[in-house]
Amino acid sequence: MKLILGNGKTAQSIAHFLNRNNIVFTLLKDTRKIKDKDVLQGIDEIFVSPGIPQTQNIILWAKAQNIPITSDIELFSHYAKAPIIGITGSNGKSTVTQLLGDMITNNNKKVAVGGNIGKPALDCLSPEVDFYVLELSSYQLDYTQNLNLLTGVVLNITPDHLDRYPSFEHYVNSKLSLYQHCQTKVINSDETLVSQDPSAKHFGIDIPKQDSDFGTVTCHGSCYFLKGNDMLMAVNEMQLIGEHNVTNILAALSLGDQIGLDIAPMVECVKAFKGLEHRLEWVVKKQNIDYYNDSKATNAISTIKAIKALISRHQTISLILGGIPKDEDYSKLFALIDQHITSVILIGQSTNTFKNHLKTTQITQANSMQAAVDIASNTNCEAVLLSPACASFDMFDNFEHRGRVFKEEIKTKY
């Protein structure tokens, strides 16, 4: 009999899939309450939700008994008939996944986008699909031993989720494991933690080294996207904000080219793509203040990228910062805030810690998003940026909830 561990969307999608295929299973919703290894009696395979750590007792018991443990992603791979593209990275993977999906559609192909974004992978299965594009988290990769990817990319690797891993090296290896499943690789030349491979397609901010690679060039004061020596479009024609999104676009173009998409429809998508909700999302301009929702920024590097993207557009910025801090070095973020941010409104568990590390910026504390928006909107700034650099679970259900509350406060009050 099969055993499903978890109670979220992934576990439910596995249960529905097994039901449809008349496979007998049992479901354990809260694995933390399991005290007796006898629960594994009669179990011949375990499907694990990505949120369950490998250090939980039930996982350790299963490994000791040599019971196969796998992910919904691996199960999906056994049944998927169309080529699969895998995308992982510490930051940017949702943007690249959705943009590549749009590019495939614009090439008159049918695509299903899912995994760690939108639909669980098993809910995407369809005989009519030409390509599957999956966003893959390190947690999903940890439980995946066999996955047949046509191609894939590790966008970047920065310290994140270190409460889940014994060391940063373990986290790096988790991300890099994606390449073990790829027939061909797409590699970010600017990511030093990814080994370069002459047989792979590469992308990076600099001029491409090979005709098949993607990059950029600055000429007469303007920056352009390139494939080899061919100019594709000006960077300022994209609607996304920031250099990190230049890299995201290069990744999507590289993946699309690798799977045989035409360049012109992909470039059209880049020009039209407005980005995803909660990812440096421009919300509205009210009373001469631009509001940006970057609630997805749950680590320091994400907030650093958001600030760098906005300081070229706005001279004065109020930043709403804080939540549950990650186990990472925030010193570069604090230095950037001290240098460029007009005022900081601190929220959540990190308030006292962050307050002690910020030096030159005007600092205020708020006990709710409503209070934070009120304070930020009255600081005589050109822009208000929600980019917390922290997890959201101390005050909100998730980062999406945090971002929605931020936007609702703006739209109802100003």
Instruction: Write out the catalytic residue numbers.
Output: 93, 116, 161
User: SS3 for 116?
Assistant: coil
| Count of other CB atoms within 10 angstroms of residue 127 | 6
Closest CA to 103 of 91, 126, 87: 87
- CA distances 373 to 343, 384, 410, Å, are 12, 8, 7
**How far, in Å, CA of 266 to CA of 273, rounded?**
10
> Please, are residues 384 and 292 in contact by the beta-carbon 8 Å criterion?
yes
Write out the H or E segment, with its range, that includes residue 11: helix 9-20
**How far, in Å, CA of 402 to CA of 293, rounded?**
9
Name 187's bridge partners: 154, 202
Write out the H or E segment, with its range, that includes residue 122: none
Residues 6+ apart with CB under 8 A from 192: none
Decide the pairing of beta strands 281-286 and 289-293: antiparallel
**Dihedral angle sign, alpha carbons of residues 404, 297, 328, 188:** positive
Decide the pairing of beta strands 281-286 and 69-70: unpaired
Closest CA to 323 of 384, 263, 403: 403
User: SS3 for 58?
Assistant: helix
**How far, in Å, CA of 126 to CA of 111, rounded?**
10
Q: How far apart are the first and last CA of the chain?
A: 57
**How far, in Å, CA of 113 to CA of 129, rounded?**
10
> Please, are residues 73 and 137 in contact by the beta-carbon 8 Å criterion?
no
